Amino acid sequence: MDRASLIQAIFTILDQAKTGALDAAQVRAYAEQTGFDGTDADWEEQFAAMCEHFGWSQSSGITRIQFNELIEDDDETDDDELRQALLHLQMQVGKSSRPSVVGSSWQRRSLLHLPNVDSTKNMSRSEMTSNIFSLLDTSGSSRLLSAQLRQFAEASGFEGDADEWASQFNSMCEHFGCNPADGVSQPEFLEFIGDEVEHSDEELRRVLVSLQAQRRQSTRHSVSSSSWGRRSFVQSLRGSDAAGMDRASLIQAIFTILDRAKTGALDAAQVRAYAEQTGFDGTDADWEEQFAAMC
């Protein structure tokens, strides 16, 4: 993106209500990405002074043209900082703009209550980030592709859909100057994680434990031991030559395996069979609540 496109994209992200103007809180969201770290009172004073300087009305909000003027008046914010601001704002929107059930595939149980948190409590920040990268780098290529990095994003709050993630990942790669098809290297991943302000040590610890739990879960065939005795997807799809299937064909094949009665619709138990293959490991009561929330 060129500078004008970056400014427009940032404004659009901030203007979630599509009013065409940003209020003080929305402008503050941008300001916090470019250096502001004061209190509510500090921001109130800062916003008032800014509006007075430009001759704007505080109550009317900041229009797209005025927002462009505000950024262009700031000689210290270069294009790289704007790209980073856009990236972080996109992450924040992913965290807050939709119900959590739409977020990570099956609303994993709270990371605060995951087991084995104590096993990471003595790890340094660099050790945690190195372990997280290794868990994500399942291919051993020392680079993370879009799907692998999305695991980290979802574990740390991203709740957007596939299109939103694709846009975010492409923006990230553009910021780092890498080809999305090649993925993100470990140094770039460390830069993406940032400092304690971007991702606290406690958040990284919870993400690490979550990824460890997912890795353990992926080694179990929970479907084969469920009450309806369904064969695991891994076994079933091997017989369908899954390696050669595109995404649409895989989804169709999974649905067909689940829909053994050929009714054309899946009930809660059948959807749970899929959920257990993609991270859900809760109780019957957890699933009942999850399925109701999803519907």
- Which string of DSSP letters, residue by residue, matches 82-151? HHHHHHHHHHHHHHHSS-GGGSSTT-PSPGGG-TTGGGGTT--HHHHHHHHHHHH-TT-SSEE-HHHHHH
The dihedral formed by the CA atoms of 146, 148, 153 and 159, expressed in degrees to the nearest 10: 70
Number of domains into which the chain is organized: 3
Q: For residue 244, is it within any domain?
A: yes
Q: Is residue 85 part of a domain?
A: no
What is the rounded distance in angstroms from the CA atom of residue 157 to the CA atom of residue 103?
A: 8
Whether residue 166 is found in the same domain as residue 184: yes
pTM value is 0.41
Q: Which residue has the tokens 């890498």?
A: 178
229 shares a domain with 211:
no
In tens, the pLDDT along 173-188 reads 888 788 888 888 888 8
Identify whether residues 138 and 192 lie together within a single domain: yes
Domain that residue 158 falls in: 98-218
**Within a domain: 33:** yes
Do 107 and 149 lie in one domain? The reply is yes
Same domain? For 162 and 263 the reply is: no
CA nearest 10: which of 103, 93, 74, 97? Answer: 93
What confidence tens digit (pLDDT) does each residue in 88-130 have? 787 666 544 433 322 333 332 232 333 344 456 678 888 888 8
Backbone angles phi, psi at 22, to 5 degrees: -105, 135
CB atoms within 10 A of CB 106: 22
Q: Are 206 and 255 within one domain? A: no
Summarised one tens digit per residue, pLDDT across range 190-227 is 887 775 556 777 788 888 877 776 665 554 333 323 33
Task: Choose one of 48, 78, 108: the last residue of a domain.
Answer: 78
**pLDDT bracket for residue 85 (50, 70, 90):** confident
Give yes or no: residues 119 and 198 share one domain. yes
152 versus 112: the higher-pLDDT residue is: 152
Question: Is 146 in the same domain as 230?
Answer: no
Both 30 and 117 in a single domain?
Answer: no
Q: How confident is the model at residue 11 (pLDDT cuts 50, 70, 90)?
A: very high
- 174 within some domain: yes
